[in-house]
A = this chain, B = another copy of it.
Amino acid sequence: MTTKQKILNEAMTLFAERGYSAVCVGEIAEAVGIKAPSLYKHFKSKQDIFNAILDEMRSNYDKQAAALNINGNKAEGDAPVFALVSEDVLVQMGIELFRFFLHDDYASKFRKMLTIEQFHNSELSMLYSKQYVDDPLVYQSTIFAYISASGGFINADPNIMALHFYAPIYMMLTMCDRQPEREKEALQLIEEHIKQFRAVYSKDGQT
């Protein structure tokens, strides 16, 4: 891995733990294994490092979606897969989603960093909302619209179904970001959540 890349990684790790302004360039350098002034051979300022992290993540965004076996924004392609909502396919899906976002090193660090910096300016606010609220809701909504249309679920607004499905997962995710020791508990809750979600929304009623 190139030094430049190493700098981005270590910087993100530190920013994710303590936030941009609490981290000093010396620490980033030390983590990389060089001295502070050498950072300036690769980036013109501390702010520039931060910006580069954002740029990198913007270009990684689609790759990330691909890393799950989902199509990111374009959920139409995935919907048929979910249509086979037999038994706990839905449960598995939700849990995979949760596990991936929680454990993927890059995704997880980036999310924590954005959590800390989200109020800093409106670009970051919008980015956070897009990544962790809007896009997932649009995606899930598409899926549920499809399932509803094919008769698997009762007739209900797919946007609200998406909210019902995703919000608890989101809440557990942010909880595990700050308290990783509660992952087990979170998984348990998510599993029950999805089972009950399926129960109340599926046409036949209970499992």
Contact = CB atoms under 8 A, between A and B. Distances in A.
A168 interface: yes
A97 to B, nearest CB: 15
Interface of A: 16-22, 112, 115-116, 118-120, 122, 125-126, 128-129, 133, 154, 156-157, 159-161, 163-164, 167-168, 170-171, 175, 177-179, 182, 189, 192-193, 196-197, 199-201
B112 A119 contact: yes
Given A164-B168, A167-B167, 4 more contacts: A19-B116, A126-B179, A156-B196, A164-B164
List the number of copies, as a whole number.
2
Contacts of A201: 200
B168 A17 contact: no
6 contacts: A18-B119, A116-B119, A125-B179, A156-B200, A160-B192, A164-B164
A170 to B, nearest CB: 6
Among A19, A116, A118, A178, the most chain B Cβ lie within 10 Å of the Cβ of A178
